[in-house]
Amino acid sequence: MQSSIERQDPLAGTLGECLAECMCTIILVLVGDGVIATFALFTNIGLGNTATSFAYEWIVVALGWGLALMLGMYVAGTVSGAHINPALTLGLAARGRFPWNKVLPYWAAQVVGAFIAAVIVYLVYHGAIDHYIISNTVSGVPLRNTLDSIGRVFYTGPQPFVGLFGAFCSEFIGTALLVGLIFAIVDARNQPVQGNLNPLIIGFVLTAIGLSFGLNTGFAVNPARDFGPRLWIAMVTGGFSFANNYWWIPIVACLLGGVAGAFIYDFTIGRVLSARHEGVSGDTITRGGAVRETAT
């Protein structure tokens, strides 16, 4: 009698989902930080140090991060749900839509992905970074200010006139909006987006948040997108990226904002839809999803 034991490929489970989250986050940060590198490092490289056309425009940053999120979600939405954001992962778990035992693995994958992307962006733009340092040194700009500007290519920080409370509120509200609107967009009872366009619409959501709440802090609205690159810059600058008391804001404010956004949607519009006994809207059929809602 011949017996065989079928072994499941590890990539079919949580390991594969974490790999997908890592890849999604790499795409997000590669494109997003690349856009900021264009914004910050190529400001005045025109003839006679004149402003570079189109580079130094906030719409470039806001739209770039929106497109980055869209592309990241399209990479592996069906595999992992393409959370790409620890705040979204926590919000889903807090509302019972994602298993708690996968939260830390997802977080780790997201931070590792952001870290890897930051390394790649740093290497690609190393020449531009050196040119920026030399130009600022010749112009008499203090080295600390120059390093701070370079750091902002990779992680976020408040404007000089924005205090910790204002920065916390910006990140909290921005993340609550992002997570709450994602809940609304993927809710099959609530006029869901058809034709696999969820990532595009969610990308527009991030762009809108960047345009409305972005300039105070640079709109992290994602702890991994800030913390992973911050770790890399700390390694190459001897800890400069942690030399202030701001680094915890994009972690704590975003995680709390994500949970708040999830609860606000579920206890307002979600409750209304339940009270009205709304079913799946129209002929919607879910095959995979931009954000997986069912805990398994």
CATH number of domain containing 19: 1.20.1080.10
User: Could you give the residue ranges of the DSSP H alpha helices within the chain?
Assistant: 14-41, 58-80, 86-94, 103-124, 126-138, 143-151, 164-186, 198-213, 223-237, 249-266, 269-275
What's the whole-model pTM score?
A: 0.89
- State the pLDDT at residue 183: 96
Residue 3 domain flag: no
- State the pLDDT at residue 289: 46
Residue 163 domain flag: yes
pLDDT tens track for 113-125: 999 999 999 999 9
Residue 293 domain flag: no
Residue 5 domain flag: no
Residue 286 domain flag: no
Number of domain units in the chain:
1
Cβ atoms < 10 Å from Cβ of 164: 13
* Beta carbons of 146 and 132 less than 8 angstroms apart: yes
Which residue segment(s) compose the domain that 52 sits in?
Answer: 14-275
- State the pLDDT at residue 284: 53
Residue 241 domain flag: yes
Task: Burial-class residue 123 by CB neighbours within 10 Å (0-12, 13-18, 19+).
Answer: exposed
Residue 190 domain flag: yes
Q: pLDDT digit of tens for each residue in the chain (296 aa)?
A: 444 445 778 887 899 999 999 999 999 999 999 999 988 888 765 555 555 666 678 899 999 999 999 999 999 888 999 999 999 999 999 999 999 999 999 999 999 999 999 999 999 999 999 988 988 888 888 988 888 989 999 999 999 999 999 999 999 999 999 999 999 999 988 877 777 899 999 999 999 999 999 999 999 999 999 999 999 999 999 889 998 889 999 999 999 999 999 999 999 999 999 988 777 765 555 544 444 444 44
Residue 31 domain flag: yes
Report CA Rg, the chain.
20
- State the pLDDT at residue 2: 47
- State the pLDDT at residue 296: 42
DSSP per-residue string spanning 229-285: HHHHHHHHHTSGGGSSS-TTHHHHHHHHHHHHHHHHHHTTHHHHHHHTT--S-TT--
Contacts of 193 (CB under 8 A, 6+ apart): 185, 201
Q: What CA–CA distance (Å, rounded) separates 42 from 128?
A: 8
- State the pLDDT at residue 52: 61
Closest residue by Cα to residue 193 from 289, 83, 62, 81: 289
